[in-house]
Structure formats: C-alpha cells, structure tokens
Amino acid sequence: MSPVASPPLQDDLRRMIEETRQGVAVTVNAALTMLYWRIGKRINKEILKGERAGYGQQILAALSQELVRDYGVGFGEKNLRRMIQFAGVFSDEQIVVSLIRELSWTHFIALIPL
C-alpha cells in the first residue's frame, strides 16, 4: 500500500490548484474581452465606417464566414455584431480595461442593451 499525503498537505495543494485555476480563468476572460472589444472597434472603423451601410453588412457576413471557418462559431455574424455594439457602447479602451477586472464578457453582453 502506498503512502498517502497528509490531509493538511492535500488541502494546501487543492487550494493552490483552485486559486491558480481561478486566476487563469480571470486572465483568459480579460484577454478575450479585450480581443472582442478590439475586433468590434476595428470592424466598425474599417468596414462599417461608423455607419450601417448595406455593403458593410455584406462584408461583415462574408468576414464572419471566414472567421468561423478558421476559429469557430464564436466568431459568427451575431457575435461580431455584439463585438461591434460592445465597442460602440464602451468606446473608451481605458474604461474597458478598468472594468474587465470585475466583469466578464457575459456581463458586458448583458449591459449593452441597458
């Protein structure tokens, strides 16, 4: 029978693992949220030029098809529109940088209609 680590050691190791997992999740969420903001900002500036021109919408549809093929459904047209809205509602990057410490992408999506 092999020796088992003492309960205090096991508890400490579990705590360390959970803290690290939580920290990684927060870091990944913050990075993805900033990515989505930058994508929305760039699409609005380069493709839509701040307007809702019909040709811009067609380009957005084609762009989303390319991104979905390369990176998955998270970059579908509906999500790209959310990214554009996100960058429009939270137009100041410094505000987004401050808020991502407390809010997840899901929180931002919920706040956009408000």
Residue whose entry in the numeric block shows the structure tokens 């990176």: 71
Q: Are 34 and 100 spatial neighbours (Cβ–Cβ below 8 Å)?
A: yes
- Please state the rounded mean pLDDT for residues 13-42: 95
- Please state the rounded mean pLDDT for residues 6-20: 94
pLDDT at 1 over 70: no
Residue 111 three-state SS: helix
Q: Which residues contact 101 (CB under 8 A, 6 or more apart)?
A: 30
Cα 110 to the center of its chain, rounded Å: 13
pLDDT tens-digit map of 28-87: 999 999 999 999 999 988 887 766 666 677 889 999 999 999 999 999 999 999 999 999
pLDDT tens-digit map of 83-102: 999 999 999 999 999 999 88
Query: pTM for the full model?
Result: 0.83
